[in-house]
Amino acid sequence: MTSFFQWIGQLARQTAAMVYKEMLTEWRMRVRVSGIFWFSVAIVMMVAFSIQSSTMLKEIAGGTLWIAILLASTRSLDQSYQVEHEQGAMEGLLLWPVDPIAVYYGKAIANMLVLLGVALAVLPLLLAIYDRPMLGSWPQLIGTIVLGCAAIAAPGTLLGLITSQARGSSVMLPLLLFPLVVPALLAASMSTSRLMEGDPMNVAPPWMLVLVVVNCVFWSFPSVLYGLIFED
Amino acid sequence: MPGIVIDKVSRRYGRRWALTHVSCEVASGESWMLLGHNGSGKSTLLRCVATAQKVHQGEIRFGGQSLWPNRGALREKIAVLSHAPALYDDLSAGENLQVWARLGGHQADVPALLTRVGIDPARRDPVRTFSAGMRRRVAIARMLLKRPELVLLDEPFTALDPAGRRWLLDVISELRAGGATLIMATHLPQVAREVADRALILEAGKVVFRGAVDELPAELAFE
């Protein structure tokens, strides 16, 4: 039992160190975050320009936010391992040794924070451009965005590792990721749209519950597989 | 006391055998140098001992324990300096060492360690702006964060000037004085023989010489 608690303590320390490393690297090379932010903004703008009806624009605001985040996430997740492969740091982590589960959770949390930052930065722009008044609960909307970003980051971090060494990784990652996150995206966009409209029928909480369940699955299964792939 | 036992180890890449029935026994605290031309299997052997690669035949034992099945625990005791420095280019030297110390749970005086390897601890510029020799020094500092029982060095003198080589020989001597077992792959037997007890020469993945450094032919050259 003592060794189990020691392992948990070590895992928590290594995960915290990985998050620190990821965020520090992210801060030093801000170009990645700014790149995916402007990519998301471009998608929001393109959709806005292509739809003439202001009523329809208001209705699709929630869905557009998630399309922008999903497409931007593939760029972000794809590059997440580039830093590791550049100077042999991936092998360095393996031999240091760092627990692969800590590497996974560290990277997944960092990826989630990056997506969350971008989503929260894009949100006010989207509301302004789409002339979409936010009528529902702000805490619930923020909660939906946190859960949605987590549901993209967790499988994306696992798949990013699989595709990072493959040829054409930027094509392979979306191919594998998109079908997997469909339930999460559906729940996130339904919840976001209803909350923006004021959610008089209280529809958002059940969709948020779906997101919680999806996250429970996404944040537990990959950690088991990650070690096997990481060692390989 | 048993150190490293490499017992009839073979390793292939696809159909090509990079190592064929390589055997040697490195006693605890001993220092060995691996010599051979490019592609002779030196790095492959080091990577197998480092547990970065699995051997396809044979076995490697460290301290009496089979290395691969116990790699999780044994990696803690092994320090590796490989071709790739395993540094984060966008972080400074100090930040790199902080990150690796945190990941390993090592208590480290990073400024003192940087001073020891000849890097100004006040430097804040990213490692990507460093010369190859300076990056090598930071990679060596990273290796020194551990207190290893086994040190594996792959071409450690690469990118170092004569003063840097002298300094690295001193570092190796200190590690040896601390009781560490050492295996280094090198093209520079003239430099390495100063700190090595024994040598292993590989040719096309096979052992062609195994013995004391004094027994090495005088005209050896792999450069």
Contact B197, B212 (CB under 8 A): yes
- pLDDT of A224 reads 81
Q: Return the closest-CA partner of residue B178 out of B26, B63, B31.
A: B31
- pLDDT of B195 reads 87
> pLDDT of B134-158, one tens digit each?
999 999 999 999 889 999 999 998 8
| Interface predicted TM-score (ipTM) of this complex, two decimals | 0.89
Token couple for A40: 């998301």
Contacts of A21 in chain B (CB under 8 A): 88, 99, 102-103
Helix axes A100-129, A31-50, angle to 10 degrees: 40
Q: How many CB atoms lie within 10 A of CB A105?
A: 24
Residues of B within an 8 Å Cβ radius of A: 50-52, 72, 75-76, 78, 80, 82-91, 95, 99-100, 102-105, 126, 142
- pLDDT of A178 reads 94
The reply to whether residue B88 touches residue A25, judged by beta carbons under 8 angstroms, is yes
Q: Could you give the residue ranges of the DSSP H alpha helices within chain B?
A: 42-49, 71-74, 93-104, 110-116, 132-144, 162-177, 189-192
Name the β-bridge partners of B81.
B153
The rounded distance, in Å, linking the Cα atoms of A66 and B197 is: 63
Helix, strand, coil fractions of chain B, as percent rounded to 5 = 35, 30, 40
Residues of chain B with pLDDT > 70: what percent?
97
Single pTM value for the model: 0.91
Q: Which residues contact B204 (CB under 8 A, 6 or more apart)?
A: B39, B40, B41
**Is the per-residue pLDDT at B223 higher than 70?**
no
Contact B111, B141 (CB under 8 A): no
Backbone angles phi, psi at A125, to 5 degrees: -65, -45
**String of DSSP letters for chain A:** -HHHHHHHHHHHHHHHHHHHHHHHHHHHTTHHHHHHHHHHHHHHHHHHHH---HHHHHHTHHHHHHHHHHHHHHHHHHHTTHHHHHTTHHHHHHHTT--HHHHHHHHHHHHHHHHHHHHHHHHHHHHHHTT----S-HHHHHHHHHHHHHHHHHHHHHHHHHHHTSTTHHHHHHHHHHHHHHHHHHHHHHHHHHHHTT-TT--HHHHHHHHHHHHHHHHHHHHHHHHHHHH-
**Can you tell me whether residue B93 is helix, strand or coil?**
helix
Residues of A within an 8 Å Cβ radius of B: 10, 13-14, 16-18, 20-21, 24-25, 28-29, 83, 86-89, 91-98
Determine the distance in angstroms separating the CA of A172 from the nearest CA of chain B, rounded to an integer. Answer: 25
Q: What is the pLDDT along chain A (232 residues), one digit of tens a residue?
A: 668 898 899 999 999 999 999 999 999 888 888 999 999 999 999 999 999 898 999 999 999 999 999 999 988 888 888 888 888 899 999 999 899 999 999 999 999 999 999 999 999 999 999 999 999 999 999 999 999 999 999 999 999 998 987 877 778 899 999 999 999 999 999 999 999 999 999 999 999 999 999 999 999 988 788 888 888 7
Contact B46, B154 (CB under 8 A): yes
> pLDDT of B81-102, one tens digit each?
998 889 999 999 999 999 999 9
Determine the distance in angstroms separating the CA of A24 from the nearest CA of chain B, rounded to an integer. Answer: 8
The reply to whether residue B105 touches residue A13, judged by beta carbons under 8 angstroms, is yes
**Is the per-residue pLDDT at B11 higher than 90?**
yes
**String of DSSP letters for B40-51:** SSHHHHHHHHTT
Q: Degrees (nearest 5) of the Cα angle B19, B24, B30?
A: 125
How large is the average pLDDT for residues B106-116? 92
> pLDDT of B175-221, one tens digit each?
999 999 999 998 888 877 888 999 999 999 999 999 998 888 777 66
Backbone angles phi, psi at B70, to 5 degrees: -110, 20
Strand order in the sheet with B206-212: B78-81, B150-154, B181-185, B31-35, B198-203, B206-212
Q: Which residues contact B42 (CB under 8 A, 6 or more apart)?
A: B34, B35, B36, B154, B185, B202
Contacts of A91 in chain B (CB under 8 A): 52, 82, 84, 86
